[in-house]
Amino acid sequence: MPETAAPKYLSSSLNSLDIAVIGAGPHALTLAAHLLQKRKTWGNRLCFFDPSGGWLSQWQQQFAALEIPHLRSPAVHHPAPNPFTLRDFAQTHAQELYPPYDLPGTKLFIDFCDRLIQEHQLQDHLVKAQVERIVPLEKGFQLWLGDGSLVLARRVVVAHGGGRKFLPDWVQGISTPYPSDRLQHSSEVDLRTLHCRGEKILIVGSGLTSGHLAIGAAKRGAKVTIMARRVFYEKFFDADPGWLGPKYLKDFQQESCWLTRSQTVINARNGGSLTPAVFTHLRRLRAEGKIEFMENCEIKQAHWVSGAGDQGNNLGANLANSLDDNWQLGCSNGEKLAVDRLWLATGSTLKVQEQPLLAPLLVTNPLEVVNGLPVLTTHLRWGNCELYLMGGLAALQIGPTARNLSGARMASDRIVEALIKPRTFQPLIAA
């Protein structure tokens, strides 16, 4: 999707907006599509900020880097309001719905989103900028952008994903310098540019990302080990489909204890899992001797050993490795391993107090926080201020699928209801 310049109304005025949306990923797109269905003429009230300058750029980058052929979620989950429009769109792309639950192909999903973006001319409402600071005013907000400029907005929706890479403790304990490309979080690995024929790669983590990375590395001739703290297990979806409707959500929403709700969210997601198709593929590769599984096991210590004797600093990613350079690993089951690369498919953590954009708001506009999740209103509003959160941070209200496409739909329903509620116009008061 092409990058766009700032919308004309933004550059020409004193940057005063009605609704500023931070992020231009699937959640922001879902919000836009739901709002514009209810208020067709509100396009000019909306302005999206994303440092990439394009729609869904993070999503596309992740799918391409991991060579993911199709979504994990079925075709009814997508940003448009009518659940069946993606299936209709797929009539001309029939080969791109994958069994067993009509999982949209990666390209089909992007083509569909692209059409939605064009339909609402959303590329004209996207500003290429990172929002670095949100300052609440008496009415509205100041948004400070990466280039130092300032925008005023009456209402703000934060749809910025916002997870922080989770790194296991032993990573802190590594005392030897190592080339940066030899230890990477999964979000930094790009299979498309990887040359690893003959290398030994250890992937930590039992989720679907581990599976995609293992398949991609094995395809390129690496000898792969995937390590899980528990046993690998398969599940079609991130969370049981009962979380999409009243079956589980009714009790969840009646639960008045936020701590219980947060624990329910953690239990329902139950860490990482593989889809049956990916698990079957991995087992086949194991039978062919290309992949090994290490279960109920963790790394305890890691040392980078440089056979060339270069223990110096600044071991850049482009440093040519000696054949003897490798990781020496001590594992919880007593085994010692030597590998060329370590990949951490260990997911991300989401805590509002660790978010550079939101943590200052906890000081100016305090809010109860439980296990890192803010206690928002039922409309996902931050207390009394006109700031709304979408994504994983809304999980205490939306439930375990808050970060998924289905969660984006549920969040949009609630936020849109609040945004369109008639209220008297309040002019912005600058600080």
Ligand X SMILES: Cc1cc2nc3c(=O)[nH]c(=O)nc-3n(C[C@H](O)[C@H](O)[C@H](O)COP(=O)(O)OP(=O)(O)OC[C@H]3O[C@@H](n4cnc5c(N)ncnc54)[C@H](O)[C@@H]3O)c2cc1C
If the CB atoms of residues 71 and 108 are measured against ligand X, the closer one turns out to be 71
Map residue 238 onto helix, strand or coil.
Answer: coil
If the CB atoms of residues 196 and 410 are measured against ligand X, the closer one turns out to be 410
- Could you tell me the smallest distance in angstroms from the CB atom of residue 289 to ligand X? 27
- Could you tell me the smallest distance in angstroms from the CB atom of residue 317 to ligand X? 23
Q: Which residues pair with 249 in a beta bridge?
A: none
Tokens of 396: 């205490």
- Could you tell me the smallest distance in angstroms from the CB atom of residue 159 to ligand X? 5
If the CB atoms of residues 235 and 300 are measured against ligand X, the closer one turns out to be 235
Burial 380-399 (b: 16+ CB within 10 A, else e): bbbeebbbbbbbbbbbbbbb
If the CB atoms of residues 72 and 223 are measured against ligand X, the closer one turns out to be 72
Are the beta carbons of 428 and 154 closer than 8 angstroms?
yes
Q: Name the DSSP letter for residue 55.
A: T
In one letter, which amino acid is 18? D
- Could you tell me the smallest distance in angstroms from the CB atom of residue 126 to ligand X? 10
- Could you tell me the smallest distance in angstroms from the CB atom of residue 259 to ligand X? 24
Cβ-Cβ contacts under 8 Å for 97 (sequence gap 6 or more): 75, 87, 90, 103, 104, 105, 108
- Could you tell me the smallest distance in angstroms from the CB atom of residue 389 to ligand X? 10
Radius of gyration of the chain from its Cα atoms, rounded to whole angstroms: 23
If the CB atoms of residues 104 and 140 are measured against ligand X, the closer one turns out to be 104
- Could you tell me the smallest distance in angstroms from the CB atom of residue 269 to ligand X? 11
If the CB atoms of residues 10 and 131 are measured against ligand X, the closer one turns out to be 131
If the CB atoms of residues 51 and 179 are measured against ligand X, the closer one turns out to be 51
- Chain positions contacting ligand X, by CB under 6 A: 22-28, 49-52, 57-59, 62, 66, 68, 71-73, 77, 130-131, 159-161, 357, 391, 403-406
Q: Which residue sits closest to ligand X, CB atoms considered?
A: 25
Query: Which contacts of 255-262 are long-range, i.e. CB under 8 A and separated by 24 or more positions?
Result: 258/368, 258/370, 258/373, 258/375, 258/396, 259/370, 259/371, 261/370, 261/396, 262/370, 262/371, 262/373, 262/395, 262/396
